């Protein structure tokens, strides 16, 4: 069985540690979200959060902080690579603080300016629940008519441009403010900074001339510095895929396909250079064969985000489907990951967590963290646990 984890955003998370216990998860995925991006984490701060998670009240099921998600990589590292010495040094200090507290898996991403992107946080489903959604026409309306990015018109066909214009013309001030908030103001768990529209334009301008090859080289330079440290401390670094897995805002993304990951593993072959296998992110691309990727990259997978996305007919828009629905063959993916897991020592099992649950039932009337509702993820974890149990029973 994969280790069953749960993302927790700290003491202010609407989902409590007792809620997590009741969901059946025993391992916590968390971070010091109150520390500014680029500032080094201290051993004492990590220890304090670890004690909060792991000091169970009398009679309660114990929990363990197993995965850090994430230590944010500052923007200058993505633009400058190894030349961003101050930011990389701070990241290494955070890595050491985590390792000193016996946490051995660190998730991170390398998406420039904005990391995971959506256009709707409560998209209505036929069931009455709501889901996260990326609507390509709404995204085009933001790019073309709100952000007004130079050259954006070249990234959308004539039909999309026409629909985007019509959408924007129908938007009121509140609609525009909502779209700015969702796209530019950093979603929960984001490892990029909230941006106003002027600041967004300024940040994009800093990337002028940086293509995919250079961004990949900067990631390789970063890994060349931090991976030996991680390996010496027994820590596995797990790179989260781009979300969505394609260029956005005229910027390249370099963790979207099997070829992207293979290039990074070839460049930095250390076993500490690992992968966060996010089925939802990778599943947005129809050319990503997820069961094959899970089998091929199995030894590199230290952490897994399990969720399913459902693509629209345009191949670009998508929403978060039920965990066993959508375009992801979750049963085949789990079979591949379980096969890899059985070959590992007990100290190196794959940690998974249910990702991006629907807002449903009582959560429809509550303040929730978009994508990280209690009930939606509980449902997803129960479904995933059932599949894993059935697969293990067949062996």
User: Which residues are tagged catalytic?
Assistant: 240, 278, 305, 355-356, 372
Kindly compute the dihedral angle of the four CA atoms of residues 141, 145, 146, 148, in this order, to the nearest 10 degrees: 120
CA angle (276 as vertex; 272, 278 as ends), nearest 5? 170
**Which residues are 27's β-sheet partners?**
5, 64
Task: Give the strand pairing for 318-321 and 130-134.
Answer: antiparallel
**Which pairs from 88-92 meet CB under 8 Å and 24+ separation?**
88/222, 88/225, 88/226, 89/40, 90/38, 90/39, 90/40, 91/40, 91/226, 92/225, 92/226, 92/229
Return d(Cα 203, Cα 124) in angstroms, integer.
33
Nearest Cα neighbor of 385 from 131, 136, 23, 118 is 23
Nearest Cα neighbor of 5 from 385, 352, 375 is 352
C-beta of residue 158 within 8 angstroms of C-beta of residue 166: no
What the block records as the tokens of 315 is 């191949």
Of all helices (H) and strands (E), which one includes residue 351?
strand 351-354
C-beta of residue 161 within 8 angstroms of C-beta of residue 140: yes
CA dist 7 → 20, 38, 180, 260, 353 (Å): 9, 22, 26, 26, 7
C-beta of residue 166 within 8 angstroms of C-beta of residue 186: no
């Amino acid at each position: 069985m994969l280790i069953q984890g749960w993302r927790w955003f700290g003491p202010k998370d609407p989902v409590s540690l007792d809620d997590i216990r009741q969901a059946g998860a025993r391992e916590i995925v968390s971070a010091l979200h109150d520390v500014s991006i680029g500032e080094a984490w201290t051993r004492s701060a990590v220890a304090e959060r670890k004690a909060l998670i792991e000091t169970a009240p009398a009679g309660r099921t114990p929990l363990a902080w197993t995965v850090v998600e994430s230590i944010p990589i500052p923007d200058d590292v993505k633009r400058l690579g190894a030349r961003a010495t101050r930011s990389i040094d701070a990241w290494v200090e955070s890595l050491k603080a985590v390792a000193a507290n016996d946490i051995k898996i660190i998730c991170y991403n390398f998406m420039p300016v904005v990391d995971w992107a959506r256009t709707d946080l409560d998209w209505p489903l036929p069931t009455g629940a709501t889901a996260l959604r990326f609507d390509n026409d709404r995204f085009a309306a933001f790019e073309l008519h709100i952000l007004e990015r130079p050259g954006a018109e070249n990234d959308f066909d004539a039909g999309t441009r026409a629909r985007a214009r019509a959408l924007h013309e129908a938007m009121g001030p509140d609609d525009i403010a909502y779209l700015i908030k969702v796209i530019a103001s950093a979603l929960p768990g984001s490892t990029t900074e909230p941006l106003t529209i002027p600041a967004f334009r300024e940040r994009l301008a800093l990337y002028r001339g940086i293509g995919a090859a250079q961004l990949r080289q900067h990631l390789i330079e970063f890994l060349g510095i931090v991976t030996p440290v991680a390996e010496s401390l027994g820590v596995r670094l797990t790179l989260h895929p781009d979300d969505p897995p394609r260029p956005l805002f005229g910027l390249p993304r370099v963790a979207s396909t099997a070829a992207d990951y293979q290039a990074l593993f070839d460049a930095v072959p250390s076993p500490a250079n690992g992968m966060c296998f996010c089925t939802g992110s990778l599943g947005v691309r129809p050319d990503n064969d997820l069961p094959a990727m899970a089998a091929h990259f199995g030894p590199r997978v230290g952490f897994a985000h399990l969720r399913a996305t459902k693509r629209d007919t345009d191949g670009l828009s998508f929403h978060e489907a039920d965990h066993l629905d959508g375009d992801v063959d979750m049963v085949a993916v789990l079979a591949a990951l379980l096969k890899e897991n059985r070959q590992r020592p007990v100290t190196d099992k794959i940690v998974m967590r249910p990702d991006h649950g629907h807002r449903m039932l009582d959560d429809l009337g509550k303040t929730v963290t978009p994508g990280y509702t209690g009930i939606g993820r509980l449902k997803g974890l129960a479904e995933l646990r059932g599949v894993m149990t059935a697969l293990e029973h067949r062996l």
